[in-house]
Structure 1
Amino acid sequence: MDGTLVDSEKLWGVALEDLAVHAGGRLSAAARLAMVGNSMPVSMAIFREDLGQPDRPYAEDAAWLTERVAELFADGLVWRPGARELLLAVRAAGVPTALVTSTGRRLAEVALKTLGAENFDVSVCGDEVRAPKPDPEPYLTAARMLGVPIAECVAIEDSPSGVASAVASGAVVVAVPSDVALPSADGVHLRSSLAGVDLAHLAGLRRPF
Structure 2
Amino acid sequence: MSAPGTALRGVLFDMDGTLTDTERLWTISLEETAAHYGGTISTATREAMVGQDMWTTIDLLHAELGVTADPADTARMLTEATTAIFRRGLPWKPGARELLTAVRAAGLRTALVTATHRPLVEIALCTLGVENFDVTVAGDEVVCNKPDPEPYRRAMQLLDLTPAECLAIEDSPSGSRSAATAGLLVLVVPSEMPVPPAENLVFADTLVGLDVDDLRRILAEGRPAEQFDSV
Structure 2 residue aligned with 1:204, among 200, 217, 229?
217
8 Å contact kept, 1:7–1:80: yes
Matched, 1:38 2:67: no
Matched, 1:152 2:196: no
Letter in 2 for 1:182: V
Query: Separation in 2 of the partners of 1:105 and 1:151?
Result: 28
Structure 1: give runs of 5+ residues left out of the alignment.
Answer: none
Deviation digits for residues 34-91 of structure 1 (CA, Å, limit 9, x no counterpart): 00000001111111111111x2110010011111111111112111011000000111
Query: Separation in 1 of the partners of 2:84 and 2:163?
Result: 35
Structure 2 residue aligned with 1:119, among 129, 132, 136?
132
Cα offset, 1:151, TM superposition: 2.2
Matched, 1:50 2:52: no
Query: Separation in 2 of the partners of 1:38 and 1:141?
Result: 18
Query: Separation in 2 of the partners of 1:41 and 1:150?
Result: 28
Quote the sequence identity (%).
Answer: 50
Query: Separation in 1 of the partners of 2:196 and 2:72?
Result: 34
Question: TM-score normalised to the size of structure 2?
Answer: 0.88
Q: Report the 3-state secondary structure (helix = DSSP H, G, I; strand = E; otherwise coil) of the residue aligned with 1:42.
A: helix
8 Å contact kept, 1:103–1:127: yes
Q: Report the 3-state secondary structure (helix = DSSP H, G, I; strand = E; otherwise coil) of the residue aligned with 2:186.
A: strand
Q: 70-79 or 121-130, which moves further after superposition?
A: 70-79
Cα offset, 1:10, TM superposition: 0.4
Structure 1 residue aligned with 2:109, among 73, 96, 112?
96
Aligned residues: 208
8 Å contact kept, 1:40–1:62: yes
Matched, 1:3 2:41: no
Deviation digits for residues 81-109 of structure 1 (CA, Å, limit 9, x no counterpart): 11000000111111110000000001000
8 Å contact kept, 1:4–1:156: yes
Question: TM-score normalised to the size of structure 1?
Answer: 0.97
Q: List, as ranges, runs of 4+ consecutive aligned residues in structure 1 with deviation greater than 3 Å.
A: none
Letter in 1 for 2:134: D
Q: Report the 3-state secondary structure (helix = DSSP H, G, I; strand = E; otherwise coil) of the residue aligned with 1:189.
A: strand
8 Å contact kept, 1:152–1:172: no
Higher relative contact order (CA 8 A, sep 6+): 2
Matched, 1:161 2:174: yes
8 Å contact kept, 2:184–2:200: no
CA RMSD after TM alignment: 0.9
